[in-house]
Amino acid sequence: MSKIDKTRPFIPVRIAVLTISDTRTLDDDKSGNTLSQLLADAGHDLSARAICKDDIRAIRTTLRKWFKRSDTDAIITTGGTGLTGRDVTIEAVRPLLDKEADGFATVFHMMSFGKIGTSTVQSRTMAGIAAGKYVFCLPGSPGACRDGWNEILSKQLDYRHMPCNFVEIMPRLDEHLQRSKG
């Protein structure tokens, strides 16, 4: 069973938060504010924060800029994961990924099913690695952001979480990029 190993040090992760919305601003972005507060409360660093439109090109432009940042280890997006025509986060992000972490969506939907029942099928979520950084795509509601953080990300982004976590393998995420240079 999972647990926190208190003999291991806490290692802060540098996380960028991207809200994808045609209507939100930084002043009324409840989901982005929720994620920013939760990660700060956990001891992590907010390395960047932005809002962009539900537009594939705009999403990819922001993500590609953040992939180049040396002060960012992970990116969490919120919004644009539904089924309507304007919801394009998954379509924008998936082609940028080097690897997809399929289990993230599975665990999110298992947890979400317990809270909202079959309505969970109306949201898409995903995670993966791009340019040596983690990318997590969460639905746009503050509740879904809280659930995704509290039930999955707060544990996997904590080096003390056992038996394993995302932090301990971070130094090896870009091995394929290093090999191709050599």
Q: What is the mean pLDDT of the chain?
A: 94
Q: Is the pLDDT of residue 136 over 60?
A: yes
Q: For residue 21, give its domain range.
A: 8-181
**pLDDT of 182 strictly over 80:** no
- Strands 126-130 and 133-138, bridge-based pairing: antiparallel
In a domain, 102, yes or no: yes
Six-digit token pair at 113?
């099913």
What is the arithmetic mean of pLDDT over 110-128? 95
Q: What is the pLDDT of residue 174?
A: 82
1 lies in a domain?
Answer: no
Give this prediction's pTM: 0.95
**Total structural domains within the chain:** 1
Q: For residue range 26-46, list pLDDT tens digits in order.
A: 899 999 999 999 999 999 999
How far apart (Å, rounded) are the C-alpha atoms in residues 51 and 134? Answer: 19
Tell me if 79 sits within 8 A of 115, measured CB to CB: no
Average pLDDT of the segment spanning 12-17: 98
SS3 state at 25: coil
CATH number reported for the structural domain that contains residue 16 in this entry:
3.40.980.10
Q: Is residue 3 part of a domain?
A: no
Beta bridge partners of residue 8, listed in sequence order: none
Is 55 inside any structural domain? yes
- Domain assignment present for residue 2? The answer is no
